[in-house]
Amino acid sequence: MSATDTLPDTTAPDSSAKPAIDLDEERRARRAKVAAIARWLLPSLVMVAFIGGWQAYVTLAEIPHYILPSPLLIAKTLVEDWALLWPAMVTTGRLTLLALLLAVFGGLSIAVAFTQSRWVEMAMFPYAVILQVTPVVAIAPLLQIYVDSAFLAALLCAWIVAFFPILSNTTIGLKSTDHNLEDLFSIYGATRWQRLRFLAAPSALPYFLGGLKIAGGLALIGAVVAEFVIGRSGTGLGLASTLLEASYRFNFGRLYGALILISVMGVVIFGLMSLISHLLLFRWHESALKRD
Amino acid sequence: MPLKRAPLGERPELLKMTHINKTFRGNVIALNDMNLTVNQGDFISLLGPSGCGKSTALRLIAGLMHPTSGSITWQGGQGEGDLGVVFQEPTLMPWARIKDNVWLPYRLRGKTYGQVKDEVLAALKLVGLEKFQNAYPRELSGGMKMRVSIARAMVTKPRLILMDEPFAALDEISRHKLNNDLLALRDAVGCTVVFVTHSVFESVFLSDRIVVMAARPGRVIRELEVAAPYPRTEAFRTSPEYTAYAREASDALHFAMEVAA
């Protein structure tokens, strides 16, 4: 048998290396370059226009700051209140990450239990769904009553929201193994553990990571809800309680500052989850495949 | 070093299927009284229309299902690593490098990569892909993936290799090439092959025995020998001898279709 086959070329075409490119290709290359710049430029322009318009409106229409603070005032508050906002952000961040970690742990364990025993799944899955579809805002006050530690109540609250996408995605992933590979594992006498470790787990990885992306956002939402409902007694002064407090005091600069920081946290969490997903999948998974 | 194969009729028995019946739910008779003796060194094709039970026969031999009645006996009993399988799809693990895919049969028996590295690389070399040991499956073409699949089936030097329409999804050029390569491999390692196909031409080119099957109920209609000598080259594909065998097999297949209809 000869090895005359060659790997398909996976490197991007290098336009500078090839001297003669026809007009069509040149146009396509130029369009790709423009698109790459526009992907960053356009949202930035929208942002600048939006903030500029906001500032102009507040200034020209003389809107009082307790109705709508100007972007400049918000920026000033962010700097001046940083000593207060930063610890709040750390507090909320800690709650969010802890909830997400527990959601990953819980979601994965329950998913594995579900796929290892059909009976467990039949018995428990409906309750996982009920837990999920009941709005967390409605559960939170109960948690506060029944769970002594307010921090634990807040954590539980964020966990309930975050764990379900991990559970349901991972369960689907663990079940979506290639049937022929299943057969192959049977033929080679694989044990239950080998099946889980070498076949089901890698098959489930892309699904799990999809769930993780959703769960990251939901953990933040859960943390914010918990802070709103359970309050600073349990969680310390987080961003959401800061926001709530600022609204009672008509300190709208701080309110908007806290709101922006919560958004930033959401974006950072999403970015982190996407990065993790990319690092784990880019070598082999179709979702990470670039096509021209 | 090509291994010497005994001529047909003098080969020692490897596996015997006796009075195999397989009935699925709803009284679908997948196999009706199938008898087949696989001898060491045989290249047997199971040829037949869809629903004739050829894949069922393969799954029964593989131990993936059990016959409703009848028995399958291995000469000297079936040991670990006696069986290699190639499916219609390459069935590689997309997350594992090529060498790790070939390592799998050993890995599931608790062997570390270090213990079997030589075997893995030798198998990849046999199919001409040792240079791609660190690549991932998606980087390979369809034909190359199929070769990895063959390397994986052969890595444990099994006594029997089962192939379930392995080249059906490939284009004709790749298929011809893999046909040639498969025969060369068989000469190199001296394995026994049971090959499921619905292509008359493929079965004639590859096999020394063709088992023609019919559907509803799945059963064996005829068995023919292709006495043309190996090695078989591209020239064999256009020889009158080949055409004659192809006609014989084709007639048997048509007969199989008629009795089913």
Give A21's Cβ-side CA count (13 Å radius).
15
A289 band by pLDDT with thresholds 50, 70 and 90:
low
Judged by a CB distance cut-off of 8 A, whether residue B148 touches chain A is: no
B residues 96-115 closer than 8 Å to A (CB): 96, 104-105, 107-109
Is A284–B185 a contact, with Cβ atoms under 8 angstroms apart?
Answer: no
Neighbouring C-beta atoms of residue A130, cutoff 10 Å: 9
The mean per-residue pLDDT over the stretch A150-163 comes to: 88
Range B106-130 average pLDDT:
94
Determine the length of chain B: 261
**Considering chain A, what is the average pLDDT of its residues?**
87
Q: Percent of chain A scored above 70 by pLDDT? A: 89
Q: CB–CB of A243/A255 below 8 Å?
A: yes
Q: Is the pLDDT of residue A131 over 90?
A: no
Size of interface A-B (CB pairs under 8 A): 78
Tens-place pLDDT, residues B173-195 = 999 999 999 998 888 888 899 99
The mean per-residue pLDDT over the stretch A119-136 comes to 86
Look up residue A148 and give its two tokens. Answer: 């002594």
Q: How far apart are CA B105 and CA A93, in angstroms?
A: 46
A 10 A CB-CB count for A23 gives: 7
* Chain-chain contact of B138 with A284 (C-beta, under 8 angstroms): yes
Which of the residues B91, B165, B189 would you substitute to probe the A interface, choosing the one with the greatest number of A C-beta atoms within 10 Å? B91
**Residue B195: strand pairing partners:** B45, B163
Query: Phi-psi category of B190—alpha, beta or left, where left has phi over 0 and alpha has psi -120 to 50?
Result: left
- Strands B83-86, B69-74: pairing is unpaired
**Entry pTM:** 0.85
Cα angle for residues B191, B194, B200 (degrees, 5° grid): 120
Helix (H) or strand (E) holding A92: helix A82-116
pLDDT of residue A11 exceeding 60: no
Asked whether the predicted pLDDT for residue A9 surpasses 60, the reply is no
pLDDT tens readout for residues A242-255 = 998 888 888 899 99
Q: Are A78 and A257 in contact (CB under 8 A)?
A: yes
> CA–CA separation, A104 vs A110, rounded Å?
10
Per-residue pLDDT at A290: 59
Q: How many residues does chain A have?
A: 292
Which residues does chain A have within 8 Å of residue B95's beta carbon, measured at their own beta carbons?
Answer: 202, 205, 283-285
SS3 A149: coil
Q: Mean pLDDT over residues A25-39, rounded?
A: 90
pLDDT single digits (tens) B132-154: 999 999 999 999 999 999 999 99
Record: contact B129-A289, CB cut-off 8 A: no
Compute CA A283 distance to the chain's CA centroid, rounded to the nearest angstrom.
22
What amino acid is encoded at B243 in this protein? T
Angle between helices A136-146 and A150-175 (to 10 degrees): 130
The 3-class SS string of chain B reads: CCCCCCCCCCCCEEEEEEEEEEEECCCEEEEEEEEEEEECCCEEEEECCCCCCHHHHHHHHHCCCCCCEEEEEECCCCCCCCEEEECCCCCCCCCCCHHHHHHHHHHCCCCCHHHHHHHHHHHHHHCCCHHHCCCCHHHCCHHHHHHHHHHHHHCCCCCEEEEECCCCCCCHHHHHHHHHHHHHHHHHHCCEEEEEECCHHHHHHHCCEEEEEECCCCEEEEEEECCCCCCCCHHHHCCHHHHHHHHHHHHHHHHHHHHHC
**Residue (of B229, B162, B232) closest to B202 by Cα position:** B232
pLDDT value of residue A235: 57
The SS3 call for residue A49 is: helix
What is the per-residue pLDDT across A35-58, written as a single tens digit (0 to 9) for each?
A: 999 999 999 999 999 999 999 999
Unique residue bearing structure tokens 């079965």: B203
Nearest in space to A91 (alpha carbons), one of A230, A195, A210: A230
User: CB-CB: which of A180, A185, A284 is closest to B95?
Assistant: A284
Instruction: Report strand pairing: B28-39 vs B13-24.
Output: antiparallel
pLDDT at A113: 92
CB A239 within 8 A of CB A95: no
Q: Chain A residue closest to B125 (CA)?
A: A1
Q: What is the pLDDT of residue A292?
A: 45
Given this model, what pLDDT does residue A15 score?
Answer: 47
Q: Which amino acid is at B91?
A: T
Mean pLDDT of chain B, nearest integer: 91
Query: Per-residue pLDDT tens for A197-225?
Result: 999 999 999 999 999 999 999 999 999 98
* A62 exposure class (CB count in 10 Å sphere: 0-12, 13-18, 19+): exposed
How close does chain B come to A250, measured CA to CA in Å? 55
Tell me which H or E stretch contains A179. Answer: helix A179-187
Q: Model confidence over B51-107: pLDDT tens digits?
A: 889 999 999 999 999 999 999 999 888 877 889 999 999 999 999 999 999 999 999
pLDDT at B3 over 70: no
Residue A19 — very low, low, confident or very high, per pLDDT cuts 50/70/90?
low
Determine the pLDDT at residue B1.
38
> Is the alpha carbon torsion for B61, B63, B65, B71 positive or negative?
positive
Candidate from A27-41, A144-158, B7-21 with smallest mean pLDDT:
A144-158
Output the pLDDT for position B234: 85
pLDDT at A78 over 50: yes
A206 and A281 Cβ atoms separated by less than 8 Å? yes
pLDDT of residue B116: 95
pLDDT tens digits, A85-107: 999 999 999 999 999 999 999 99
**To the nearest whole percent, how much of chain A has pLDDT over 90?**
57
Residue type, A223: A
Residue A4: its pLDDT value, please? 45
Beta carbons of A184 and B147 less than 8 Å apart = no
Contact yes or no for A188/B104 (Cβ under 8 A):
yes
A3 pLDDT exceeds 50? no
> Residue A234 has what pLDDT?
52
